[in-house]
Copies of this chain bind each other. A is one copy, B any other.
Amino acid sequence: MIRIGILGYGNLGKGVECAVKHNPDMKLVAVFTRRDPASLKIRTEGASVYAADTLEQHRDDIDVLILCGGSATDLPLQTPDAVRYFNVVDSFDTHARVPEHFANVDREGKASGHIGIISVGWDPGLFSLARLYSNAVLTDGKDYTFWGRGVSQGHSDAIRRIDGVKDARQYTVPVPEAVEAVRAGKNPELSTRQKHTRECYVVAEEGADLARIENEIKTMPNYFADYDTTVHFISEEELKANHSGLPHGGSVIRTGRTGWDNENMHTIEFSLKLDSNPEFTTQVLVAFARAAYRLNQKGESGARTVFDIPPVMLSAQDPADLRAHLL
């Protein structure tokens, strides 16, 4: 049994707990939290809850620690710190800061003899793999990534910060005509506005100025100004009834040409349709935790990404069985 620890018990931490239940070769040993451990109720019988600052004391009890903090402020510090005591996996998703994060985790992992797999999930993660495989195969081509239809938590939070907004949910929606043009191999040049639209469901406080709120959303730089955005004001009950899930998904599409004179066209598409973004993300984290454990058992250490992991290491099945049944 691979002994799993979780650091952080929000949506991702709870998702890892469920994912471990779906993987019979794994066992949840402990959840580490920055809250008062006595206040935290987890679902796994026999697993313990500890304070986040006691990580080091449990270094011999856990094979892989799965880091469930945020990319903005938690993971840049937590991952290089935790890899000093454990093999770790994180879902660091600030694309621009990946090289720096990788270097920090690599340095500490090599010093301590542990493996740290960073940026695991679906984007970065499975979508990155789709981009890498399709680029390696279709050497002359063009990549497109579409996200959604799904809830963007960052954009929902941005709306909630507007004065007079009680709650909000924002959906990122790919433009169907853009997706179809890409699938048809038309290689369109697409602006931000032409790729995705944004749908907002907003619960306003009583007496709030709806026109002002709508205008503040639609003109918000970086988040909404570059998109066609629609705003729907709904009741709190409606938000709860119809928009409480965290669905997401999307597609990575690469089209490219082959042949002596580029005479043939090909399309590779990888797509996801997810009822629960955090639960799916954590299923991916847990599969890569297995790989982290196995790499470390082989004596390896340092930082890795999904690009470095032989796919066979992700599966609980025996390699010979995989060759016989899945190849």
Which residue numbers of A lie inside 8 Å of B, CB to CB? 15, 17-19, 21-23, 43, 95, 98-99, 102, 119, 124, 126, 128-133, 135-140, 183, 258-260, 264-276, 279-280, 283-284, 287, 290, 305-312, 314-317, 319-320, 322-324, 326-327
Assuming the A-B contacts A315-B135, A326-B132, are A21 and B269 also in contact, with contact meaning beta carbons closer than 8 angstroms in the complex? no
Known: A280-B266, A283-B138, A287-B137. A322 touches B132 (CB 8 A): yes
A273 and B266: CB pair below 8 A?
yes
Asked if residues B276 and A264 are in contact (CB atoms below 8 Å), the reply is yes
Chain B hits for A95, CB < 8 A:
327
Complex contacts, A264 vs chain B, CB 8 Å: 274-276, 279-280
Given A131-B326, A132-B312, also A276-B259 (CB < 8 A): yes
A125 smallest CB distance to B (angstroms)? 9
**Judging by beta carbons under 8 Å apart, are A98 and B287 in contact?**
no
- In the complex the two chains form, is B260's CB within 8 Å of A21's CB? yes
**By the criterion CB–CB under 8 Å, are A258 and B18 in contact?**
yes
Nearest Cβ distance between residue A247 and chain B, in whole angstroms? 9
Distance between Cα atoms of A43 and B261 in the complex (Å): 12
New A-B contacts (5) at CB < 8 Å, excluding given A19-B258, A259-B279, A270-B270 = A22-B258, A98-B323, A138-B283, A258-B283, A269-B271
Chain B residues within an 8 Å CB radius of A307: 310-312, 319, 322-323, 326-327
